[in-house]
Structure 1
């Protein structure tokens, strides 16, 4: 069944009004017609079984039949803090981490970030938000991950203090990996996990020392050096496998 995210202000009197790019996708690509069932998400984590009432080139009207008890979100909330990469690499980072289940993504400007001027280019947030929305549709997320504006490295620490666990992959770390971290924390209640990924040039040694002083776990992802866009996928996947729902419940 096809799923669509509709803002709450477009839902009233048990009807949802779909507008924008989804309309063309519905009538031209999916060729959905009145009487067909769809799932409507109100962008606040609530989902409804709907039946299409009317389709035209401007909007699609959906009658909401019942609320669905669906929650595809993991009990582990992962917050990704990504060193701002060059060109369009952030597009891929947003897309794939949203598919994997990340709750929020925040670009960070570290010492070795090359495109530091991009911290003021907030127009990119709109594109990243659209990518997050499309990834949420494809992966049937219940919530759309939030894409935050870029922050400076010094601002990162206030955010990390809110986490139950902070993981920082680092190419100079040897031996101590995510499995080791998880094994030492089996008896601890973990709900919020912060993952901090360095940019293309990696972290400065001082930045790693600062993160350690905050209680972050500095880990290796293996003997091979991963690109900045790959490191986030791998780290998120490992955490989701060890603590979340990736790979099933059994």
Structure 2
């Protein structure tokens, strides 16, 4: 079945009739190349809706709503905590976390993080994460936030997992809680202070595979592992 094109608009709900100008116009007309009568899915802050292209003018496009679905909270809570890293790697994994069903992504600066996240960077990452969620066609959009210190991290999920390559005992993860957070470390790995703080915050440390992975590889692998367990209902 052909997957419909989608668009995110910074508005609360799906209006009956929306007039697209500037970037929205260019995206629908020149990137998606949609024509009058064709459909597009519009995501907003609180809902998504099916729209039909009604009119295409020289500087604007009118789209008319056919239906609307209010976002519903998933039955699970899946938080991904990602150490800040270089732009090209961070952009990649944040979009994948949206695609892999994370309900929240927290970016945090650890001792070995090589960058600090500014507000405009966080806005760009939010758009990428939303793009990932739209690709997967979820009935919700994930949240994103940034903390400039691991000490300020406050996660209240029932299960807290830190994937740590120096954990000697290999453990196969075959069941998880419905409320779970995972921590993916920085490019330079965790230092002793990071591990001590995470231990105090109730994280358990796992290393399910051999080898030292790149941070962006580990992020996609372990987030995918958790999503698979969630979708298969492998709960404790």
The normalised TM-score by structure 1 is 0.80
Structure 1: state its 5+ residue gaps. Answer: none
Task: Classify the secondary structure of the residue corresponding to 2:24.
Answer: helix
Task: Classify the secondary structure of the residue corresponding to 1:8.
Answer: coil
Q: 2:163 aligns with which of 165, 169, 184?
A: 169
> Which of structure 1's runs of 4+ aligned residues deviate more than 4 A?
68-71
Task: Classify the secondary structure of the residue corresponding to 2:231.
Answer: coil
Residues 41-56 of structure 1 mapped to structure 2, 5 A cutoff = 41-44=43-46, 46-56=47-57
Q: 2:125 aligns with which of 119, 125, 128?
A: 128
Partner of 1:24: 26
Structure 1 or 2: more helix by fraction: 1
- Displacement of 1:239 in angstroms is 1.0
| Separation (CA, whole Å) in 2 of partners of 1:146 and 1:27 | 29
Equivalent residues of 1:178, 1:238 under 8 A apart: no
- Displacement of 1:57 in angstroms is 4.7
Structure-2 change in CA distance of 1:11 and 1:48 (3 Å): closer
Task: Classify the secondary structure of the residue corresponding to 2:146.
Answer: coil
Partner of 1:141: 138
* Structure 2 residue 165 is the aligned partner of structure 1 residue 155: no
| Separation (CA, whole Å) in 2 of partners of 1:41 and 1:134 | 10
- Displacement of 1:29 in angstroms is 3.2
| Separation (CA, whole Å) in 2 of partners of 1:124 and 1:67 | 31
